[in-house]
Structure 1
Amino acid sequence: MNASPANATDSNVLDLIRPDLRGFGGYKSARTETLRGDVWLNANESAWSNPADAGALCQRYPEPQPMALRAALADLYGCAAEQLLIGRGSDEAIDLLVRALCVPGRDGVVISSPVFGMYAVSARLQDAPLIDVPLRDTERGFEPDPDALVAAALANRARLVFLCSPTNPTGRACTLEEIAGLAERLAGRALLVVDEAYVEFSDVPSATSLIARFPNLVVLRTLSKAHALAAARIGVAIAAKELIAVLRACQAPYPVPAPCAELALAGLAPVALAQTRERVAVVRRERARMRDALATLPGVRRVYPSQGNYLLVRFDDADRAFAALLSTGVVVRDQRAAPQLGDALRISIGSPEQNDRVLSALAVGEAAA
């Protein structure tokens, strides 16, 4: 489908915000104002650092949106700094979007299961009706149904449509053409939120390049996966600057701890980024090797193609496979409670040595059956 930028930009994306939050300024913290001084007595902080805080990182409240980190992330993701909101992982961005756009009990959230569970959790906490348009299990893997997604969003007054790409746990990445087509058809009616937690491992480029054409498009990114900073909890939402300003007003005053910001900034230095790219290349090679090797094992029913750092695998006996792995100290994600995945496990791609342990444990477990 050829998307028309003119049609997509005619509507004001702020019309999708909850009416009671339009113009909401949020909390003005002691760090909100740009003030300069050398004796800080405006935030009731301690005059001394904690004895355990050798670098004096935690004595003062941090910048709400650390300027240096924001600039580094904007450079990494190819967007303007004012188009980017830093939060506590992608989870916070998901929660902020649901709270900012959905009137409780009225405005819906559309997902396509099986998928990352936090979309449904955030919807339930906001009392936003959850509309599930299941992925279709095809010969090519699990695929979304664009027509059904749009129809469900329009019929149920949805304000948010979540699209995970690459999809967790099934692994498929949506093309930019698919994303553009959905954004165009939802323009003025709903935000399309593309969760790209695993996009660094994908052949498909990021949808951030589409935001200028589609103001109802939001892209979520994270440093947790490819950048190996899961414990730092640094995630971002990238969108039109007007929407980012609304989300910031709904956010807690100091969402980014100073030690986490410093660690993330160091992790985005050129040397660190070069090593990250090397490790991503290893994961991609290992993903291909593991898919081929797993497919040859007795008891493996199907290995789905994946653009993420994981593989979804169906087993003749998933309980036995899970137990065989666990008995050797290998922990994988049990997906059997997820819709359509009653026989499936999700296996993250580890180091070559860790991946060999997976293959060995499954081979031994099947031989012992």
Structure 2
Amino acid sequence: MSSDDIIALVREDLRTFAGYRSARSEALDGRIWLNANESPWASYADSATTVRRYPDPQPAVLRERLARLYGCSAEQLLAGRGSDEAIDLLVRALCRPGQDAVVLTPPTFGMYAVCARLHGTRVVEVSLVDAEDGFACDFDTVAEVALASEAKLVFLCSPGNPSGTALPLDAIAGLARRLQGRALVVVDEAYAEYSDAGSAVSLIEAQPNIAVLRTLSKAHALAGARVGCVIADEALIGVLQRCQAPYPLPGPSVAIALRALSDDGLVQTSSHIATARGERDRLYRQLRALPGVRRVYPSQANFLLVRFDDPQGAFDRLLGAGVVVRDMRAAPGLHDALRISLGTPEQNAVVVDVLARSREAA
């Protein structure tokens, strides 16, 4: 499968779309910058980062550092505002409003459907299977539905949100082969750092109709900086960049990201990931032992999905103790479920204590 085959999936009117060329798009070297109508005076807010200048649309150092982290080339990676921007770019670039479709596997991350519907793109769903060992994806049905609906995009979340399930790479590769020339398989790996599974980035060379989403919001603790990326075939990355806003990455966010991705920053992140994984296993065991807990799903992410006999009561008791968790009862098939993110060991102990004591009092 060649890059031309990938470009054939792009909306025909965007295949040669030049996009907007900002003043920072030109590779120029100068001492006095008078090409972007910026203020010549520093802002009162300026400190280590100069915010009066427009930022580089794709900072080379950040792009290279992310590529090294995720095991791809810099040319295969487009950085942007978290994973949300990448999702929106993929829908806009590949799906013709009112004509094409995307396939989702609920319960899953809500932004896939939001972006599709805002763009006038049909959403087709293949629900995850609630199996004995957790939620599972029916890849055969996903392929059949994608082909029947002539979908351009299939969104998979691995590890899933809110399921916590990591999808097998061989099944993802098999799905991409079945959809070759027909659709792009997008694997959202926002929680991959917490998982034992390998990354779908390793599949792209053999199956260029796979794209992977990554973010610094979770394991790298940069949710407020809004830095993420999409990794895909180089030709598709070029199309997405031409569809992207001129200055997607604020300078202060880039500076923060580079600091977090330094050697010392990565050592700290690795330590926090190890602690979170240990806490996940401990909290899983403790919650399962509590009366009133119907089920705790195994998780490869930094949260646990929990079903309760009285989910409203559990939610209210936790909130009364100052603990805010995510109410999942509006999601398909999760009428009795809450999603509990992993906190520090002390915070997780509060969760267990509140649920145990409140049950005893009842």
TM-score (norm 1): 0.97
Q: Would you identify which runs of 4 or more consecutive aligned residues in structure 1 move more than 2 Å?
A: 8-11
Measure how far apart 1:367 and its partner are. 1.7
Alignment partner of 1:286 is 2:279: yes
Contact 1:198–1:308 at 8 Å: present in 2 too? yes
Equivalent residue runs for 1:73-84 within 5 Å: 73-84=66-77
Equivalent residue runs for 1:313-324 within 5 Å: 313-324=306-317
Alignment partner of 1:120 is 2:105: no
Query: What is the one-letter code of the residue matched to 1:102?
Result: C
Contact 2:3–2:233 at 8 Å: present in 1 too? no
Identify the residue that residue 299 of structure 1 maps to in structure 2.
292
In 2, the alpha carbon distance for the partners of 1:345 and 1:240 equals: 37
Aligned residue for 1:160, secondary structure, equals strand
Identify the residue that residue 258 of structure 1 maps to in structure 2.
251
Query: What is the one-letter code of the residue matched to 1:40?
Result: W
Equivalent residue runs for 1:333-348 within 5 Å: 333-348=326-341
Number of equivalences: 362
Alignment partner of 1:219 is 2:212: yes
Measure how far apart 1:150 and its partner are. 0.6
Aligned residue for 1:346, secondary structure, equals strand
Alignment partner of 1:268 is 2:261: yes
Query: What is the one-letter code of the residue matched to 1:213?
Result: A
Identify the residue that residue 38 of structure 1 maps to in structure 2.
31
Identify the residue that residue 136 of structure 2 maps to in structure 1.
143
Identify the residue that residue 66 of structure 1 maps to in structure 2.
59
**Pair 268,56 (structure 1): closer, same or farther in 2 beyond 3 Å:** closer
Contact 1:11–1:187 at 8 Å: present in 2 too? no
Measure how far apart 1:157 and its partner are. 1.2
In 2, the alpha carbon distance for the partners of 1:232 and 1:298 equals: 40
Query: What is the one-letter code of the residue matched to 1:322?
Result: F
Range with greater deviation from structure 2 (244-253 or 11-20): 11-20
Alignment partner of 1:108 is 2:101: yes
- Alignment partner of 2:122 out of 122, 129, 132: 129
Q: Where does the alignment leave 5 or more consecutive residues of structure 2 unmatched?
A: none
Measure how far apart 1:326 and its partner are. 0.3
CA RMSD across the alignment: 0.9
Residues 17-42 of structure 1: CA deviation (Å, up to 9, x unaligned)? 00111100100000011011111111
Identify the residue that residue 145 of structure 2 maps to in structure 1.
152
Residues 35-72 of structure 1: CA deviation (Å, up to 9, x unaligned)? 11111111000001111212352010000001111111
Residues 75-114 of structure 1: CA deviation (Å, up to 9, x unaligned)? 1111100100001000000000000000011110100000
Alignment partner of 1:162 is 2:138: no
Equivalent residue runs for 1:4-43 within 5 Å: 8-9=1-2, 12-43=5-36
TM-score (norm 2): 0.99
Query: What is the one-letter code of the residue matched to 1:219?
Result: V
Identify the residue that residue 349 of structure 1 maps to in structure 2.
342
Identify the residue that residue 312 of structure 1 maps to in structure 2.
305
